[in-house]
A = this chain, B = another copy of it.
Amino acid sequence: VSEFPSPAAIQAWARLLRASQRSLEIVEERLKARNLPPLVWYDVLHELAQSGEEGLRPYELESRMLLKQYHLSRLLARMDRAGAVERVRHARDRRGQVVRITSRGRELRRRMWAVYGPAIVRLVQAPLVEGEPEALARLLRKLIDGTPVARDTRRARR
């Protein structure tokens, strides 16, 4: 196997980037058109809604969503300001906090899904025929699994 990719691999790569870039743009555009916040808010609200009353620690959200600590810190600050989440000091580990979805956050998530859901239908479901969503998911899974998690580069920078 060469160090450089085959034409087929390059084509699959180019289309992976193009398909996700275009799809994301369309979803973000539709959310914005209804004065709704960016997609990343949906993911946070979704995780928090799943976690129920206990909420999640920021570092748990980080690992589930593959976000950087500082990124999430600022994102949660914005969501807090908007009343979509609430943050309380953790009772035992006082370095940390617990993040919970608010009722306003649940409502926001509902309104976002009303835009997001139909967009997924149009972008993924409609262009494919029976069995193809499963086939696509299976191939993408190989890429995800075949790709070790990005190594922590902090050590290298120091």
Whether B150 pairs with A29 at a CB distance below 8 angstroms is yes
Q: Which residues of B contact A22 (CB under 8 A)?
A: 66, 144, 147, 149-150
Residues of B contacting A33 in the complex (Cβ-Cβ under 8 angstroms) = 153, 156
B121 touches A26 (CB 8 A): no
How many residues in A have their beta carbons less than 8 Å from beta carbons of B? Answer: 57
Select one of B5, B133, B135, B143 contacting A6, CB under 8 A.
Answer: B133
Grouping DSSP codes into helix (H, G, I), strand (E, B) and loop, the A interface class, with mixed when no group exceeds half, is helix
A15 contacts the other chain (Cβ, under 8 Å)? yes
Q: Are A8 and B137 in contact (CB under 8 A)?
A: yes
Q: Is residue A21 within 8 Å, beta carbon to beta carbon, of the partner chain? A: yes
Binding site for B on A (CB under 8 A): 1-6, 8-13, 15-26, 29, 33, 66, 117-118, 120-128, 132-137, 139-147, 149-150, 153, 156
Chain B neighbourhood of A11, CB < 8 A: 133, 137
A15–B141 contact, CB under 8 A? Answer: yes
